[in-house]
């Protein structure tokens, strides 16, 4: 078992802004040792393009750092590319490289080398073009860790929103809101708020599915038939669950002031509010995994790769969140 405060950072798509973010981040010292799992030469080339003087310190299994890197330096676990990288230009030949960085990080978390992993954005399309069926970080890590159910939660510094359903067409959402699914997601959210965020008795606000939370059955029966009975069963176990509440009034200061997380029924019910409140300073957290994984809330931004015109706010929040989650888990 290595230092429990060692963290893995995956730069994601090598032609995108992930490598830039890692290099810009390393201009200042981090509170914990942070290892970029990436191709060292690719990072050196990108640093030159960005006119950054960053010392790339090679580390790896059996030679992990015991202290944070100084300002102007970045620990790198060198990982071979499939092809040379040009900023802004996708190449399917590097699909296997991207997946190898994720595998190294996830496996390192499982075996205790890393306390958590922080991921920069990948490009799903080019990975699939490279011959690998890939639907995203979340699904990949769930398979790697043999996890049956995960929950997507986005958070900014004063709001957390978890989702019962994620990337579904709107016409399919109501059928997907089953008692079994709602109970499973709520249990995962409640458990991880306790285990990974250190909240002894988390208070969760739950959105209704329909306008006005169904208006007593006049605008839909999902609240009466599924959501309310499920929440009541879980309340009997001691969970502090408020709702179902109409989403248009739940997301107001009066309600949010005294909650630890919001559980939204579908993607565009909860995330527009969160992104309006904290876009560029939000983090994507995968709940339900046996490891800590946080991610930025944006894409690869190929047009900005190598330009230096990027905002690293989301990566900083992702790092802060991973550090806090590890502290809470160690304290629990």
Does 196 belong to an annotated binding site? no
Distances (CA, A) of 60 to 84, 103, 112, 318: 22, 14, 14, 23
Backbone angles phi and psi of 67, in degrees to 5:
-135, 155
Whether residue 190 is annotated as binding a ligand: the answer is: no
Tell me how far apart the alpha carbons of residues 153 and 162 are, in angstroms, rounded to a whole number: 4
**Per the annotation, does 123 bind a ligand?**
no
**CB 269, CB 247: distance < 8 Å:** yes
- Helix (H, G, I), strand (E, B), or coil: what is residue 158? coil
CA-closest candidate to residue 42, choices 16, 14, 74, 18: 14
Distance between start and end Cα atoms, the chain:
19
Q: Could you give the CA distance from residue 105 to residue 100 in angstroms, rounded to a whole number?
A: 9
Q: How many CB atoms sit inside 10 A of residue 232's CB?
A: 10
* Residue 293 counted as an annotated binding residue: yes
Identify the residue whose tokens are 């176990």.
Answer: 237
**Which structure tokens are listed for 44?**
């050196």
Query: Of 84, 79, 92, 80, whose CA–CA distance to 127 is shortest?
Result: 92
Q: Say if residue 138 carries a ligand binding annotation.
A: yes
CA distances from 179 to 20, 184, 232, 236 (A): 44, 8, 11, 16
- For residue 232, what is the enclosing H or E element? helix 228-235
| Residue 298, marked binder | no
Known binding residue 46? Answer is no
| 235 assigned ligand-binding residue | no
Question: Binding site for a divalent metal cation: what residues are annotated?
Answer: 167, 212, 267
Q: Which residues are annotated as a binding site?
A: 137-138, 167, 212, 267, 275, 284, 293
Q: Which residues are annotated as a binding site for substrate?
A: 137-138, 275, 284, 293
């Amino acid at each position: 078992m290595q230092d429990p405060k060692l963290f893995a950072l995956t730069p994601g798509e090598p032609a995108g802004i992930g490598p830039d973010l890692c290099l810009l981040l390393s201009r200042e010292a981090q509170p914990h040792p942070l290892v970029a799992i990436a191709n060292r030469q690719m990072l050196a080339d990108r640093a030159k393009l960005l006119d950054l003087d960053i010392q790339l310190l090679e580390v790896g299994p059996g030679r992990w750092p015991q202290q944070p890197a100084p300002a102007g330096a970045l620990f790198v676990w060198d990982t071979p590319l499939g092809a040379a990288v040009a900023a802004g230009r996708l190449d399917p030949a590097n699909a296997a490289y991207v997946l190898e960085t994720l595998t190294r990080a996830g496996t390192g978390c499982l075996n205790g080398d890393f306390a958590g992993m922080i991921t920069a954005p990948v490009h799903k399309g080019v990975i699939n073009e490279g011959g690998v069926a890939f639907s995203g970080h979340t699904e990949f890590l769930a398979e790697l860790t043999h996890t049956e159910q995960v929950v997507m939660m986005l958070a900014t510094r004063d709001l957390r929103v978890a989702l019962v359903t994620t990337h579904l067409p709107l016409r399919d959402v109501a059928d997907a809101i089953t008692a079994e699914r709602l109970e499973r997601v709520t249990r995962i959210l409640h458990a991880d708020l306790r285990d990974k965020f250190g909240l002894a008795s988390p208070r969760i606000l739950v959105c209704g599915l329909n306008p006005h939370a169904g208006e007593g059955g006049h605008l839909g029966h999902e609240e009466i038939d599924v959501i309310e009975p499920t929440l009541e069963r879980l309340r009997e176990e001691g969970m502090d669950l408020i709702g179902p509440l109409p989403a248009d009034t739940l997301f107001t200061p009066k309600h949010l002031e005294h909650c630890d997380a919001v559980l939204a029924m579908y993607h565009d019910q909860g995330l527009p509010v969160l992104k309006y409140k904290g876009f560029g300073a939000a983090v994507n957290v995968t709940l339900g995994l046996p490891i800590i994984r946080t991610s930025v809330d944006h894409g690869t931004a190929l047009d900005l790769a190598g330009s230096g015109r990027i905002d690293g706010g989301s990566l900083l929040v992702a790092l802060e969140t991973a550090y806090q989650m590890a502290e809470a888990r160690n304290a629990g």
